[in-house]
Amino acid sequence: MDDKTARMVAAQLRQPHGDFALEVGERMNEGNLFMNLSTIETLRIAPHDYILEVGMGNGFFVKDILGKERHVKYAGCDFSAEMVEEAKKRNAAFIEAGNAEFHFTVADKLPFADGTFDKLFTVNTIYFWDNHVAVLNEFFRVLKPEGRLFIALRPKATMIKYPFTQYNFHMFTREELVALLRENGFRTYNAVEIQEPPTAAITGEEMVLETLIVCAEK
């Protein structure tokens, strides 16, 4: 992958936009299938949970969340306008039923009242936060007392293998992420590390990847 392509991929992963947005969304669904489904399992969704996902992309996995238990509500936020519109189209029936809503916004300015959500999760977005303290403060604000936060990512040892992560990616080890959460008021209680089955990565090359899910409580 040449330098120009790597920069383009980095920009699209950060915020899918323009003519390539829909294709990027589909490629992310394919490359991150195992990661997203593993994170949803880790949530241990219960009846009547109100769940927020930050960075839901095109909303492909919403059906897997709302199908877990009865009376679950979901809200998704993304700062790609194209992804928000695609998520609304894909999940129109859930929106009509009052089970899902989608918002175009940034992670440190969430359009919700204090103490709204039982659970908040985000997959592969932490690399792109410009101000980690501001984002975590916002997550803390919108969670209910004892609400739970789940951050899923590929750890630094995996991410550095990609040629595009040299362009404005913030990468973390498990220890660094745990420390960041604790410094910002969260009690971390679990870190799930899973080796994924070999898959075609966003680069089109097959790689052995690892999922890291750090679980914390307000």
At residue 31, the pLDDT reads 77
**CA separation (Å) from 174 to 36, 153, 210?**
18, 10, 12
Q: What secondary structure, in 3-state letters, does 57-93 show? A: CCCCCHHHHHCCCCCCEEEEEECCHHHHHHHHHHCHH
At residue 164, the pLDDT reads 75
Structural Rg of the chain based on CA atoms: 16
Place of tokens 């991410």: 159
Per the CB < 8 A criterion, the answer to whether 49 and 113 are in contact is no
Give backbone dihedrals phi and psi of 32, rounded to 5 degrees, phi first. -110, 20
Q: From edge to edge, which strands make up the β-sheet containing 143-153?
A: 100-104, 73-78, 50-54, 117-123, 143-153, 210-217, 187-195
pLDDT tens for the chain, 218 residues long, are 666 765 665 566 666 677 666 676 677 778 789 999 999 999 999 999 999 999 999 999 999 999 988 899 999 999 999 999 999 999 999 999 999 999 999 999 999 999 999 999 999 999 999 999 999 999 999 999 999 999 999 999 888 888 777 777 889 999 999 999 999 999 999 999 998 887 655 555 667 789 999 999 99
- For residue 57, give the amino acid letter: G
